[in-house]
Amino acid sequence: SQQGEEDPQALSIQEGENATMNCSYKTSINNLQWYRQNSGRGLVHLILIRSNEREKHSGRLRVTLDTSKKSSSLLITASRAADTASYFCATVPTGTASKLTFGTGTRLQVTL
């Protein structure tokens, strides 16, 4: 079963613009991760934010976490065509060992 839902399902922007994706999840978590998947390929881990953190940065990525609202956002600044991919949030619900469960995903298209 899916733990998270992402919004929007699809996003189309121009190169240089910022892209924001949102993730909502259902149960308490220890951490939340974001992964990227290029079309038909494997997933690549981008960033992990712990439940006691509110914001984290990595290069052009900024992730926020609001555990009271059970939501997270991923901001990609100054987007590039190479950022075109699907982005998934992923969580391990507390008490479920290693069942890393992915959200529904956002398909990002960055055009020149």
Partner 1 sequence: DTEVTQTPKHLVMGMTNKKSLKCEQHMGHRAMYWYKQKAKKPPELMFVYSYEKLSINESVPSRFSPECPNSSLLNLHLHALQPEDSALYLCASSRSLQGAGANVLTFGAGSRLTVL
Q: How many whole angstroms separate alpha carbon 4 and alpha carbon 52?
A: 19
- Binding flag, residue 40, partner 1 (CB under 8 A): yes
State which of positions 3-32 bind partner 1 (CB under 8 A): 31
Work out which of 12, 18, 27, 45 binds partner 1, going by CB under 8 A: 45
Q: How far is CA 88 from CA 42, 51, 75, in A?
A: 12, 18, 13
Task: Mark the segment that binds partner 1 (CB under 8 A) among 49-57, 59-67, 71-79, 96-104.
Answer: 96-104
Q: How many whole angstroms separate alpha carbon 53 and alpha carbon 79?
A: 25
Work out which of 18, 54, 94, 100 binds partner 1, going by CB under 8 A: 100
Q: How many whole angstroms separate alpha carbon 78 and alpha carbon 17?
A: 5
- Binding flag, residue 50, partner 1 (CB under 8 A): no
